[in-house]
Chains A and B, each alone.
Chain A
């Protein structure tokens, strides 16, 4: 065996390399290895990425804040007096306690309960008890400078009402990070001020990357989600597109309703008969009553942005989904549903009724949690094997004018491997020295 055959089994992560440059095989160990998980938190979530934090609409007033997780880093994002947004790491600069304990709220300042160190909404230290001691005794040294003891701040940028943060020292612009495809499709759906309708949360016993594989994979959608196939909210036979960013990590999958017919569906679904049941009728058809927000017929759109954001438009449902890793074996998925501020009651009601389709209890999404849990369960004891990702073929990771492809999944692994410094070594490049154990 050549060294390269075993490089993805390498315990020294500085020597770990992806098995192939097409990203058509994923080593299962990346879903369960705790050292890889720790490296992800550092290199991905605190690395050269922009993570989704919140919707601007969730922070309506100056001082409004929300607590989130960016990887395993607790973050608070706030609206400032001037209407801008700020974010800090929610860990006291003194002794490390969580400063903001609430998920949501409104406050001018945040005081740590432990020793009452007090911070502005932007994270600057504005008050320290007993700084000069009590009755002339104790206190901090004379050279103590509050300006040097603020909370760690994130770079923050917004686009179309979505707030992103980066823990990297000098990130590029958010727009350069998102790229033209993501911009175009955010522009398409985020056309007006947003109104938050509420949240779903689910805790899935699966690695966070299995969720990204899932939502970037239109191949499964017409096969696993029989409800969607039967009622035509999504079918592989519909006109559909798969777009992938230059770096590979962001993608867009969408399909256009009403672009297939009974004959073509019957032909292509004949091998999976139980997935397309023509005799299955809803007793109440209002569930799928769709008043399109846009005039392009797109009924199912999934935008994903590396490493923690999904934006969906499924019929009238609009949502962000924030992926929060919970160790190698688990994740929390937080869905924020929204409409537009100027929606009338009827349209709001349509959006709310269609929530029966999506989320952890949704007719066309409950299977995802189960499918990726089954992967996590089955790979636990595996150290050597890889998955097989070649629907749509190998070769360049580029856009496709159909949805029978896993190209976005390969794109995800490309950006992941490059960010983690796991990309396959160039032909003839030296193997790094093995570190001392």
Chain B
């Protein structure tokens, strides 16, 4: 089976995922909405809902303004456990291509560490994504993160 994309483009996809996770892990939340197109959808849905065709999501941002609001709320309004994150993202599997839009899938885990330096598995799952290839950079058009860890440990504040 041949990949629908060449090696250079595949490397750009890999960089997109790694840079995305890193931005959150170093608390550069302000950069997070920039990984998405203006009309993007970002959805974190419990696997039990996804598998049963139930629509309720944990986070469902429709468009970059809602992503920005999530960041502003986390920075100014919300109070949550003091922690830092570590994203571990598998190599991408490119599952399709339609012009300048790629379909891609990755597995993800997010480890969360508290102020005592104790690290716990916080989230595991798979993300079904669509990526728009732009001249300057790749951006997510759609991320649907299906959360295996839907018994959310404590709370879910910072993005996955």
A-side residues, CB < 8 A to B, are 103-104, 196-205, 224, 226-227, 230, 277, 280, 282-284, 286-287, 332, 337, 348, 352-353, 355-356, 359-361, 363, 366-367, 369-371, 373
Interface of A is mostly: mixed
User: Are B61 and A356 in contact, with the CB atoms below 8 A?
Assistant: yes
User: Are B152 and A203 in contact, with the CB atoms below 8 A?
Assistant: yes
Taking a contact as CB atoms closer than 8 A, the residue among B56, B78, B80 that contacts A226 in the complex is B78
Q: Does B98 contact A (CB under 8 A)?
A: no
B69, B77, B81: most-surrounded residue (chain A CB, <10 A): B77
Q: Does B44 contact A (CB under 8 A)?
A: yes
B62, B65, B68, B73: most-surrounded residue (chain A CB, <10 A): B73
Report the Cα distance A197→B46, complex, angstroms: 12
Q: Does B10 contact A (CB under 8 A)?
A: no
Report the Cα distance A198→B80, complex, angstroms: 24
User: Are A366 and B155 in contact, with the CB atoms below 8 A?
Assistant: yes
Point out the residues of chain B lying under 8 angstroms from A230, CB to CB: 77
Q: Does B55 contact A (CB under 8 A)?
A: yes
Q: How far is the CB of A315 from chain B (nearest CB, A)?
A: 15
Mark interface residues in B103-122 (1 if CB within 8 Å of A CB, else 0): 00000000000000000000
Report the Cα distance A241→B81, complex, angstroms: 31
Q: Nearest B residue to A103 by beta-carbon distance? A: B48
- 5 new A-B contacts, CB < 8 A, other than A103-B48, A202-B154, A369-B155, are A202-B151, A280-B72, A283-B66, A360-B156, A370-B155
User: Are A199 and B49 in contact, with the CB atoms below 8 A?
Assistant: yes
Q: Does B99 contact A (CB under 8 A)?
A: no
Q: Nearest B residue to A367 by beta-carbon distance? A: B79
Interface residues of B in 63-107 (CB under 8 A from A): 63, 65-66, 68-69, 72-73, 76-81
User: Are A373 and B81 in contact, with the CB atoms below 8 A?
Assistant: yes
User: Are B65 and A283 in contact, with the CB atoms below 8 A?
Assistant: yes
Q: How far is the CB of B66 from chain A (nearest CB, A)?
A: 5
User: Are B73 and A355 in contact, with the CB atoms below 8 A?
Assistant: no
User: Are A280 and B77 in contact, with the CB atoms below 8 A?
Assistant: yes
Point out the residues of chain A lying under 8 angstroms from B44, CB to CB: 361
Q: Nearest A residue to B58 by beta-carbon distance? A: A361
Taking a contact as CB atoms closer than 8 A, the residue among A197, A277, A367, A371 that contacts B78 in the complex is A367
Report the Cα distance A202→B157, complex, angstroms: 13
Known A352-B57, A355-B57, A355-B60: A224·B79 in contact at CB below 8 Å: yes
Report the Cα distance A363→B71, complex, angstroms: 11
User: Are B76 and A359 in contact, with the CB atoms below 8 A?
Assistant: no
Known A352-B56, A360-B152, A366-B155: A198·B46 in contact at CB below 8 Å: yes
Q: How far is the CB of B28 from chain A (nearest CB, A)?
A: 19
Q: Does B150 contact A (CB under 8 A)?
A: yes
Q: Does B23 contact A (CB under 8 A)?
A: no
Interface residues on B, range: 35 or more
Between-chain CB contacts (< 8 Å), 29 pairs:
A104-B52, A196-B54, A197-B55, A198-B48, A198-B49, A198-B54, A198-B57, A200-B58, A200-B150, A202-B154, A203-B151, A226-B76, A227-B78, A280-B72, A280-B76, A282-B65, A283-B66, A283-B68, A287-B69, A332-B151, A352-B57, A355-B58, A360-B156, A361-B58, A361-B152, A366-B78, A366-B79, A370-B79, A370-B80
User: Are B77 and A369 in contact, with the CB atoms below 8 A?
Assistant: no
Point out the residues of chain A lying under 8 angstroms from B153, CB to CB: 202-203
Point out the residues of chain A lying under 8 angstroms from B63, CB to CB: 284
Q: How far is the CB of A344 from chain B (nearest CB, A)?
A: 14
Report the Cα distance A197→B45, complex, angstroms: 12
Report the Cα distance A355→B46, complex, angstroms: 13
Point out the residues of chain B lying under 8 angstroms from A356, CB to CB: 59-61, 66
Point out the residues of chain B lying under 8 angstroms from A332, CB to CB: 151
B49, B55, B65, B152: most-surrounded residue (chain A CB, <10 A): B152
Q: How far is the CB of B59 from chain A (nearest CB, A)?
A: 5
Q: How far is the CB of A63 from chain B (nearest CB, A)?
A: 17
Report the Cα distance A224→B66, complex, angstroms: 22
Point out the residues of chain B lying under 8 angstroms from A286, CB to CB: 62
Q: How far is the CB of A285 from chain B (nearest CB, A)?
A: 9
Q: How far is the CB of B113 from chain A (nearest CB, A)?
A: 16
Taking a contact as CB atoms closer than 8 A, the residue among B52, B54, B58, B73 that contacts A360 in the complex is B58
Q: How far is the CB of A339 from chain B (nearest CB, A)?
A: 10
A200, A361, A373: most-surrounded residue (chain B CB, <10 A): A361
Q: How far is the CB of A297 from chain B (nearest CB, A)?
A: 24
Q: Nearest A residue to B63 by beta-carbon distance? A: A284
Point out the residues of chain A lying under 8 angstroms from B68, CB to CB: 283
Q: Nearest B residue to A335 by beta-carbon distance? A: B56
User: Are B156 and A366 in contact, with the CB atoms below 8 A?
Assistant: yes
User: Are A361 and B48 in contact, with the CB atoms below 8 A?
Assistant: no
User: Are B56 and A367 in contact, with the CB atoms below 8 A?
Assistant: no
Point out the residues of chain B lying under 8 angstroms from A196, CB to CB: 54
Taking a contact as CB atoms closer than 8 A, the residue among A199, A284, A371 that contacts B46 in the complex is A199
User: Are A352 and B55 in contact, with the CB atoms below 8 A?
Assistant: yes
Interface residues of B in 130-160 (CB under 8 A from A): 150-157
Q: How far is the CB of A90 from chain B (nearest CB, A)?
A: 19
User: Are B154 and A369 in contact, with the CB atoms below 8 A?
Assistant: yes
Taking a contact as CB atoms closer than 8 A, the residue among B48, B65, B76, B81 that contacts A277 in the complex is B76
Q: Nearest A residue to B156 by beta-carbon distance? A: A361
